[in-house]
Structure 1
Amino acid sequence: MVGKKEKKFTRYTVLIVIMVIVFTAISSKLVILQILDGETYAEKANNKSIREIPEAAPRGNILDKNGSVLASSNIAYILVYNQTDESDKHFFDTMSKVFDLLDKNGETQKDDFELKINPFSFQFRGDDEETKRALEIKFKTDRGFADEIKNKLYKGKKGELTKAEKAKVDEELLKITPEETFKKLVKQYKIDDKKYTIDQQRRFMIIKDTLKMNSFSGYKPAVVANNIKKDTAFKFYQLLNDFPGIDVTTQPMRSYPNGEVASSVLGYISKIGAGDDKYAEKGYDTSTDYVGQSGIEAAFEDRLKGSKGGEIVKLNKQGRILERLGKRDPYPGQTVQLTIDKDVQAATEKALDDRMNYLRANPSEQLGSYTANATRGAAVAIDVNTGAVIALASRPGFDPNAFAAPGGLSSDLYNKYYPDVTEEGKEYIERMGISGESEEDTLNKLFPVDRSVKGKTVRQDAKDILPKPLFNYATQSRSMPGSTFKMMTAIAGLESGVITPDFGVDDEMYFDKGGGLSGRVYFRNDGPNGWVDLAKAIEKSSNPYFMTVGKMLRNQYGDDILAKYAWKFGLGADPTSDSKKSTGIEIPEAFGQVYNLWSLKNSYSQTYLWTTMEKLKAGSDDRGNKFTPIDLYDRDSDSSKIKSIKGDIKKQIQSSIKDGEKAFNKDTYKSLISSLIQTDPQYKDKNISEKEIKSMISAIYYVTVSDANSQIRAGFSMYDASIGQGIDAFTPVQIANYIATIANGGTRYSVHLVDKFLDANGKLIEQVKPEVAEKTGVKPETLEAVKAGMNAVNEKGTAAQAFQGFTIPTAGKTGTATIANDQGDFGRTDTAVYVGFAPSDKPQIAVCVMLYDGGHGSGAAYVARSMYESYFKINTNTKSNTNSDSNNTAASDNN
């Protein structure tokens, strides 16, 4: 066919076709990547989009013996901020709107940030100033301030800083004021201080700081507000698109439905503190996790905490969940059921508060006591047949809810729970009308500056004056028992055979400690009781009777015979043995000790060592010896050799105190002191003569042998101990258990607060059974003789008024413990103590009540009556906590 061209399939054509196919494929892929799957791949490009969000496990419940809830975990709505590159672009605008919505709905921003404003200050949680100092250093170090100081002081230094250099950095950190810290953080977090008020700046700072601290342990959202109302949560749900990064989630929140009730038992939870490395090793997130800090919450943290869960999620650019990739469910902690009876516990706390209110309102009612500072008290009730604690109260208490969530501890509560000793001390001095050369001198005497805390001016409550809500007075306050110890002296006397129940003493209101008239101690408030046998001596609380028994015990069996029997009842333990120094209670306790020679020597060796060191440092003693001052205190600048010599001298001094003449060697002292003078550069040009060294040794001898050791060898410590004074010091828990042991016939049980452990479904895991700590072996007739006197105390003795008209027979003993000979000079007075059990014919419950600065022990009996009324469910409509002590104003200082 003419004119028609034949098409040829050349290489060029093939190349063109291939190129068209390739470009078509590329274009198609680009369309898919950029348009159809654009958002997905954009999220993948953001390396912050896939996160693991931890999910807290509900803490196990804590129940009372009847199943009433004392602590639980409730699901709460939480507002969080998820940080992404996109949400960060809108941070300030977003958070401004969030704060406005929170405020309009009556919600509170989460605020556990320690840096406060108006005025600028730090509020670190700590029971002592050294802890607060450490927390301040850590706070500033975590925020980069220490690096700035290191670069300034030691720029270019290679390797680790020396101990001295680190101390210098810490010193410089502490110089940065709260206001300067605030301004540094405003700059660090790029907060516009011109655009926003100082309150707004701090609100932004809280979120920014939380994100920074969270970053140390991996990604976690910042909590903006805890436990918000359901309505508020739904409003935020509806507006999430307007708030990039904001989300609403839920998590368990610790709750204590009864407020302060049983706070001394339950304790509280709080964020993990600085330096608690043990928690990191156990898998805790130390930046956000809460743990038990005291009480049952701390003692059984491992059982209560549960197993944490978590979820792997993909977030979109607004910081909200786009996809859930995996989940591990949390598992609740175990339930701890206590032996505590919530109703008896609440009644006990109320009775203590009511009684202390009455004492403060009527401070001059009691003869010889001024009770205006009756601000602290403790009471314990124990089941005499099992050792189970029915009530354990410490006042003042605290609300554990304040610690259960960030921001719960308001500034007012912080100041209440962690008081400023200087301010509280000034207020106390003014309120109590304590006179002195000046307020400053008086403040320094009662609340001296603690020199051991470097970089801070802090004061100590040296006279134990101020109430401490977070301190458990029931388990940690060791106090003299006063006359409540007299039954123990009676038991030792009867069991050792030095007296019988009929043994009598003519009580002429004095006792001769030795040395004739000069050695007599008078009990004028008691008045003469005439001829008293054992039962009458307990009823009247006759000091001469029991001091006489103490003297007889010492003369026949030595100084430790009283302790031998007291240890059987849990009043201390042999300090030289491996025996358990505990009542058995599951929460921390400060186990007290009865008078014994070993403890007395060790107590004196420390007290008189300080006295000796002060005399040597002053360069003179009470006998007129003068010499070049010698410093035995440890100093940072001391070489290891100097520290060793000082240590040897101090050991020698303590040996002289304990063992007197046989341990005092002049040549040894001369050699050690000469060695110190030659080694320590501060004495290089002093030209200290041998005569001066002799004077130093003479001063040491006078304090250690003539004074301290002669007192140890004298009998008065035993006589004082026999009436519950001197170095006898026990906790209310110890004393209650001692009374329970008398009441049940001589079997001492381990004290316990826990009845059983249950799983999350209420299934029994473990039942706690009563444990016998010791069978005392005391004869029944001995205990019956003691009980006869205790019955008489409540029927016609020092506690009769408190139990007038009570329908159940009870037995008891009052006690009044003097804390110091000069206690009135600094506004304190005797501790009022009462112990008892009921019913007296078939005992079920034993109690101990202590009212610090409460005066006569007869007043503490009113608290015990209220405890019995609640336990036995008796409604007598008494005014037991406001009754006057007018009929008891002649009560003994040791009643």
Structure 2
Amino acid sequence: MARRIIMLLCVLTVAVVYVVRLAEYQLVKGEQFVQQTTSQTQTTIPANAARGEIYDANGRPLVVNHIGYSVLFLRQYMTKDTQNQTILTLTSHLRENGETWNDSLPLVWADQSQTEIAANSQPQIEFAEERDSDIEKLKSANDLQAYATAQNCYDALVKKYEIDKMEGLTPSQVRDIMGVRYEMELKQFSYRNPFTFATDISEETMTYITENTLEIPGVSIQSEAVRSYESGEIAPHVIGTMGKLSADDYKKLKNEGYTYDDVIGKDGIEKAMESQLRGQRGEKTLTLNELGKVVDNEVTKAPQAGNTVFLTIDSRIQLAAQDALANIIDELRQTAAPGKGGDVKSGAAIVVDVKTGGIVAMANYPNYDINDYLNDFATLNAREDKPLINRSTQGRFQPGSTMKPAVALAALEEGVITPDTSIYCSKIYTFYASPDPASNYTPSCLGYHGPQTVTDALKNSCNYFFFDVGRILTIDRMNEYQKRLGLGELTGIEIGEKQGILASPAYAESLGRVWNPGDTLQSAIGQLYNSFTPIELAMYAATIANNGNRNQAHLVKEVKSYDLSQTVQPEQVNLLNTIGVDQQNIDTVKLGMYRAASEQGGNTWSYFKDFPIKIACKTGTAQTGGNEATVSPHTLFISFGPYEDPQYAVTVILENGANAPTYNSNIRVARAIYDALFLYEDSQQQITPENELLP
């Protein structure tokens, strides 16, 4: 009996102790334990903001966002012992599904397929081409000498990331793991800085990751806005591309809230309008269970989406210009011989709103699709025709006779000539003729034009007239007016541009050459060292059309909030300068350009004689210095219309596209653009209605 009492007392004592402790845990320290449990299972990560979208002038979407899913690595739950296996599991799954992940390690297999690599126990590793700075960074980060080989780097990373402790891996799997580990290191993977392993994954991969949390600890799925180029072949050089931050980018931008894992605009409008398109990052609090699985996802600081940019580009006109360029160039290559336009290399066509300086179309040939840039950059970048170059802003071409309106304006304003001055063209210009062969210089016109006024000379493109006018005017006075018109000057366009070159004694000296009197004559007809970008020539034509008011070129019409409810920035029309020329003189030059298109004998009359809109224009042919039998000159065209009240200026350039049997192919491109501008508002182009997604 006593035993039972003693045992009962012991049991009661133990029970009382447990009850007291349980009461203490629940009633006295309950809140403390809850807080401890919460802090241990919650982590805060950045919540990316949606990037602003890009629309054309009429509200047709060019770049939009869709909801996608990214794979994030969380340092808190990805341990040193598990990370390599987690990476292997994920990369194997994504590779089977044909999906990609973030890996910028500049080590590649030497011209072998995945099957060949898997079958080869020792495949050859080499450095990726054109990645010198990345290779240097790789060696430096791993304390390797500058002469270290790709194999040296590969071996060092195998040991550094302890991949050599894993058994049964193929060379391809080893390279996959080290690539991701290296990327994690570059992106400064940490407790406060999750690593984005992959973006815009498929629903199948999202489901796989969600259902296999135990096998891949530390992996989380996050929904976010993903960039989508609805019609990537429309003005890709204007829209531009995006890419990861480089080390230099990060140094410059880290104080502005950028992280190593961010992407930024690399060129085009994506770069120029980065500050408007980029939103402000927020924060998410993830709650994870003891297995590291996300059980709650709360936005604790809402991200702010970027603003939406409306371009001055009209998709319909842009497509008309692109198609015309491509069709004419393809035709030349198929039907013309080298030296007769068949060797045409590239082209550019630009349409400017005369009153504002807004760029309505900026077409380049060769063109490309931004989606190809994203999916297969290496192939696109390796093409011999260099489609990624924006010829409109980065190409420089001799202007040829398109320079003559500028020379005519200068001569009229300086009093060298009047509208009625007549100069007799006898074809051979003999002012610098000399019995001494060393100093004899007798340049030639293309015809015997007889007496020429300035409007005659513009209509007939008479070299003789401009030889004489240029000589009297002098190179300094000639260049002064050309600068006022924007030749040899930056246009101010947002996406970056090269500056044109004006021929001058100083420039000749910089090349180690001597300026001769005859050089002034060649400068007056747009030859010699004169070299301008298509955008300069387009804005020069627009300045003449706008009665000497030179506006800044621009591609941004306005900026609105992401939901389009507010205008953040209206269109900015900036007057750069007025050329300071009497209106009568401007009208005289306009008349000469109009006569070139409207009167029989003008070199563009046959193309515009039946056009219901009056066009003013000037053609140009620029010698390239190559073998004339096999290398065609460049062919240029500047214009505006309607003549009475100009709305648009159209400029076309075909590199090595002159002398074709079909004659003046650039004018045919321009005519197709004018058709789209004035005749076919309901164009046959399959353009999506306003405010609807492009196909």
Per the normalisation by structure 2, the TM-score is 0.83
Matching residue within 369, 372, 388 for 1:470: 388
Alignment size in residue pairs: 648
How far, CA to CA, are the matches of 2:241 and 2:680 in structure 1?
32
Say if 1:781 and 1:414 are closer, same or farther in 2 by CA, change over 3 A: same
1:294 and 2:267 matched: yes
Q: Offset at 1:729?
A: 2.1
Say if 1:135 and 1:95 are closer, same or farther in 2 by CA, change over 3 A: closer
Q: Aligned Cα RMSD in Å?
A: 3.6
How far, CA to CA, are the matches of 1:227 and 1:27 in structure 2?
51
Matching residue within 161, 167, 180 for 1:189: 161
- 1:103-118 equivalences under 5 Å are 103=95, 105-118=97-110
1:351 and 2:309 matched: no
How far, CA to CA, are the matches of 2:654 and 2:290 in structure 1?
62
Q: Offset at 1:308?
A: 0.7
1:493 and 2:411 matched: yes
Task: Write the deviation string for residues 278-337 of structure 1: whole angstroms up to 9, x where unpaired.
Answer: 11121210x211111112111121111010112233444644325558721110111111
Q: Offset at 1:59?
A: 1.1
Say if 1:284 and 1:876 are closer, same or farther in 2 by CA, change over 3 A: closer
How far, CA to CA, are the matches of 1:133 and 1:29 in structure 2?
67
In structure 2, the partner of 1:810 is: 615
Find the residue that maps to 2:680 and give its secondary structure: coil
In structure 1, the partner of 2:687 is: none
Task: Write the deviation string for residues 386-420 of structure 1: whole angstroms up to 9, x where unpaired.
Answer: 211111223333433456xxxx343xx32422x3x
Q: Offset at 1:64?
A: 1.1
How far, CA to CA, are the matches of 1:806 and 1:140 in structure 2?
65
Task: Write the deviation string for residues 144-179 of structure 1: whole angstroms up to 9, x where unpaired.
Answer: 2xx2x4xxxxxxxxxxxxxxxxxxxxxx42x33334
In structure 2, the partner of 1:541 is: 461
Find the residue that maps to 2:458 and give its secondary structure: helix
Q: Offset at 1:815?
A: 0.7
How far, CA to CA, are the matches of 2:442 and 2:328 in structure 1?
32
1:305 and 2:278 matched: yes
Matching residue within 751, 765, 783 for 2:586: 783
Conserved 8 A contact 2:633-2:655: yes
How far, CA to CA, are the matches of 2:61 and 2:169 in structure 1?
45
In structure 2, the partner of 1:661 is: none
Find the residue that maps to 1:511 and give its secondary structure: coil
In structure 2, the partner of 1:592 is: 500
Find the residue that maps to 1:260 and give its secondary structure: coil
In structure 2, the partner of 1:725 is: 527
How far, CA to CA, are the matches of 2:334 and 2:570 in structure 1?
46
How far, CA to CA, are the matches of 1:254 and 1:851 in structure 2?
33
In structure 2, the partner of 1:416 is: 380
Amino acid at match of 2:387: P
- 1:449-468 equivalences under 5 Å are 467-468=385-386
Find the residue that maps to 1:872 and give its secondary structure: helix
Conserved 8 A contact 1:809-1:840: yes
Find the residue that maps to 1:851 and give its secondary structure: strand
In structure 2, the partner of 1:178 is: 150
Q: Offset at 1:515?
A: 4.3
Task: Write the deviation string for residues 522-579 of structure 1: whole angstroms up to 9, x where unpaired.
Answer: 448x34334433233222222122111101212xxxx31112222221223xxxxxxx
1:862 and 2:668 matched: yes
Q: Offset at 1:194?
A: 6.5
Gaps of 5+ in 1: 1-15, 150-171, 425-465, 573-580, 609-707, 879-895
Q: Offset at 1:232?
A: 4.2
Conserved 8 A contact 1:211-1:221: no
Find the residue that maps to 2:238 and give its secondary structure: helix
Find the residue that maps to 2:286 and give its secondary structure: strand
Say if 1:186 and 1:538 are closer, same or farther in 2 by CA, change over 3 A: same
How far, CA to CA, are the matches of 2:78 and 2:103 in structure 1?
25
1:69 and 2:68 matched: no
Amino acid at match of 2:541: I
Q: Offset at 1:858?
A: 2.1
In structure 1, the partner of 2:508 is: 604
Amino acid at match of 1:214: K
Matching residue within 324, 337, 349 for 1:379: 349
Conserved 8 A contact 2:615-2:643: yes
How far, CA to CA, are the matches of 1:874 and 1:28 in structure 2?
84
Amino acid at match of 2:605: A
How far, CA to CA, are the matches of 1:522 and 1:719 in structure 2?
8
In structure 1, the partner of 2:257 is: 283
Find the residue that maps to 2:132 and give its secondary structure: helix
Amino acid at match of 1:186: V
Amino acid at match of 1:583: T
Find the residue that maps to 1:71 and give its secondary structure: strand
Say if 1:336 and 1:186 are closer, same or farther in 2 by CA, change over 3 A: same
Conserved 8 A contact 2:78-2:219: no
Per the normalisation by structure 1, the TM-score is 0.66
Find the residue that maps to 1:227 and give its secondary structure: coil
How far, CA to CA, are the matches of 1:513 and 1:335 in structure 2?
60
1:734 and 2:536 matched: yes
Q: Offset at 1:846?
A: 0.3
In structure 2, the partner of 1:692 is: none
How far, CA to CA, are the matches of 1:84 and 1:267 in structure 2?
37
How far, CA to CA, are the matches of 2:191 and 2:93 in structure 1?
29
In structure 2, the partner of 1:664 is: none
Matching residue within 327, 350, 359 for 1:389: 359
In structure 1, the partner of 2:400 is: 482
Say if 1:260 and 1:415 are closer, same or farther in 2 by CA, change over 3 A: same
Conserved 8 A contact 1:87-1:318: no
Q: Which range moved further: 856-865 or 734-743?
A: 856-865
How far, CA to CA, are the matches of 1:502 and 1:551 in structure 2?
19
1:842 and 2:645 matched: yes
In structure 2, the partner of 1:341 is: 314
Find the residue that maps to 1:510 and give its secondary structure: coil
In structure 1, the partner of 2:302 is: 329
In structure 2, the partner of 1:203 is: 176
Q: Which range moved further: 101-110 or 387-396?
A: 101-110
In structure 1, the partner of 2:7 is: none
1:400 and 2:370 matched: yes
- 1:610-625 equivalences under 5 Å are none
1:263 and 2:236 matched: yes
How far, CA to CA, are the matches of 1:806 and 1:875 in structure 2?
15
In structure 2, the partner of 1:508 is: 426
Matching residue within 541, 550, 560 for 2:476: 560
How far, CA to CA, are the matches of 1:482 and 1:92 in structure 2?
63
More helix by share: 1
Q: Offset at 1:198?
A: 2.5
Amino acid at match of 1:58: A
Q: Offset at 1:253?
A: 1.5
Conserved 8 A contact 1:135-1:274: no
How far, CA to CA, are the matches of 1:824 and 1:44 in structure 2?
80
Find the residue that maps to 1:761 and give its secondary structure: coil
Say if 1:244 and 1:845 are closer, same or farther in 2 by CA, change over 3 A: same
Conserved 8 A contact 1:82-1:319: no
Amino acid at match of 1:722: A
In structure 2, the partner of 1:60 is: 52
Amino acid at match of 1:780: Q
Conserved 8 A contact 1:398-1:470: yes
Task: Write the deviation string for residues 441-468 of structure 1: whole angstroms up to 9, x where unpaired.
Answer: xxxxxxxxxxxxxxxxxxxxxxxxx543
Gaps of 5+ in 2: 1-9, 112-124, 685-695
Say if 1:218 and 1:549 are closer, same or farther in 2 by CA, change over 3 A: farther
In structure 2, the partner of 1:851 is: 654
